[in-house]
Amino acid sequence: MRPPTPSGSTPSGSTPSGSTPSGSTPSGSTSSGSTPSGSTLLARAALALYPPSWRARYGDEVRALLDDSGGGLAAVASVAWRAVPAWISPPRHLHDRRARMRSSLATALMAWSMLTGLGLVFAQLTQFQGFTAPGHPEVRWAYAVFDVSLALSALVAGFGGLPLWLLMLRRAWREHRPRDLVYVLLPLIAPAAYLAVLIVTIRLVGGAQGVSPWWFLVVTLAGFAAAAAAAAGPGLALRRLQPRGPALRLAVAAAGVAAAVMAVAAVAIVVAVTGLCLWARHFAGYHHGTIPGVYLALVVTATTVTTVSAARGTRAALADT
């Protein structure tokens, strides 16, 4: 993918009439070390939408093009829109296959963790509360599909990623890299710390009916923070240790399967929540569609990121075999 060229910009390598030759600075102009006048906040925000590897290769060039074109809103919008294909189909020359596998695996792991957290919230606020829609078995079927899909996805991700995790653990230990060792162990440390804090919190503020809604919100947000930390640790270790070989390919393949199965679980969530909003409006939380709508939007977003990242990693793994 070539860098986007804003309308009205000067082709690379040419000198527009009346401009100052390269190497000289016209009187009153900005020096080469300062920020160009056309590099507006909108332009920087548009470039921030691109993958890091793309920005590293094309960022300066696109900033210069935006500056030449005046950095207008139309040019910035054009640059921002082209970020979508840059993520979906990144230029192959910007990544070697192993780097693509590691990057996709780290992104898919983070998104999968968030999607799993959303799934657990779904289970807590539907199945564990006994919410059903009498006369509509679709909701119960959606519960069953979700349970099976979530368990299967976790098993595939765990067993498929275990060899790579052990490989990074041994290397961090053997090379005396304490920071990387902590990163690798975060999937164990973060959940254990969260469970300890959860037990203490429930004992201190819980009552006969459990914790209050506000404390439930606090516990839920803390759970997402723990999941993010548990997923970010291996992602940082992948970037620093740069593992390769069969263990990496196995983990990427497992991530692809786990993402596909988790997408089925996401569909089950959508069916169940929609069914409760349509047929069980007497339950609290399903009177209006605002909160369920926001929740389903988060589920769809996490599912999309997970499946796209896993698919990109799987393509790189197949090309590397």
According to the model, what pLDDT value does residue 26 have? 45
- CA pair distance 235, 241, nearest whole angstrom: 10
Name the domain boundary from 67, 88, 109. 88
Q: Is 135 left (phi over 0), alpha (psi -120 to 50) or beta?
A: left
The CA distances from residue 309 to 48, 145, 150, 187, 210, in Å, are 18, 24, 19, 20, 38
Asked if the structure places residue 299 within a domain, the reply is yes
- Whether 75 and 117 map to the same domain: the answer is no
- Whether 120 and 247 map to the same domain: the answer is yes
- Whether 84 and 106 map to the same domain: the answer is no
- Whether 312 and 210 map to the same domain: the answer is yes
Asked if the structure places residue 191 within a domain, the reply is yes
Asked if the structure places residue 203 within a domain, the reply is yes
According to the model, what pLDDT value does residue 187 have? 94
Please give the residue range of the domain that contains residue 80: 38-88
Asked if the structure places residue 124 within a domain, the reply is yes
- Whether 132 and 246 map to the same domain: the answer is yes
State pTM to two decimals.
Answer: 0.70
Is residue 163 within 8 Å of 253, Cβ to Cβ? no
According to the model, what pLDDT value does residue 12 have? 42
- Whether 65 and 123 map to the same domain: the answer is no
HEC string of the chain equals: CCCCCCCCCCCCCCCCCCCCCCCCCCCCCCCCCCCCCCCCHHHHHHHHCCCHHHHHHHHHHHHHHHHHCCCCHHHHHHHHHCHHHHHHCCCHHHCCHHHHHHHHHHHHHHHHHHHHHHHHHHHHHCCCCCCCCCCCCHHHHHHHHHHHHHHHHHHHHHHHHHHHHHHHHHHHHHCCCHHHHHHHHHHHHHHHHHHHHHHHHHHHHCECCECCHHHHHHHHHHHHHHHHHHHHHHHHHHHHHCCCCHHHHHHHHHHHHHHHHHHHHHHHHHHHHHHHHHHCCCCCCCCCCHHHHHHHHHHHHHHHHHHHHHHHHHHHHHHHC
- Whether 101 and 133 map to the same domain: the answer is yes
Asked if the structure places residue 30 within a domain, the reply is no
The domain tally of the chain equals 2
Provide φ and ψ at 210, rounded to 5°: 90, -160
- CA pair distance 286, 274, nearest whole angstrom: 9
pLDDT in tens, the chain (321 residues): 555 655 444 444 444 444 444 444 444 444 444 444 444 677 778 888 887 667 777 888 888 877 777 667 777 888 888 888 877 776 665 666 788 888 889 989 999 999 999 998 888 888 877 777 777 888 899 999 999 999 999 999 999 999 999 999 999 999 999 999 999 999 999 999 999 998 888 888 876 666 677 888 888 899 999 999 999 999 999 989 999 899 999 999 999 999 999 999 999 999 998 888 888 777 766 777 788 889 999 999 999 999 998 998 888 888 776
Asked if the structure places residue 306 within a domain, the reply is yes
Sign of CA dihedral 290, 291, 296, 301: positive
According to the model, what pLDDT value does residue 202 have? 83
- Whether 62 and 168 map to the same domain: the answer is no
Q: Residue 271: CB partners within 8 Å, gap ≥ 6?
A: 138, 139, 142
- Whether 50 and 144 map to the same domain: the answer is no
- Whether 101 and 83 map to the same domain: the answer is no
Asked if the structure places residue 214 within a domain, the reply is yes
- For the stretch 44-50, contacts whose Cβ atoms lie closer than 8 Å and that sit 24 or more positions apart, written own/partner, are 45/80, 46/76, 46/77, 46/79, 46/80, 46/83, 47/79, 49/80, 49/83, 50/83, 50/86, 50/87
Which tokens in the block code for residue 263? 């997408």
Asked if the structure places residue 134 within a domain, the reply is yes
- Whether 103 and 55 map to the same domain: the answer is no
Name the domain boundary from 64, 88, 112. 88
Name the domain boundary from 68, 88, 108. 88
According to the model, what pLDDT value does residue 19 have? 43
- Whether 138 and 269 map to the same domain: the answer is yes
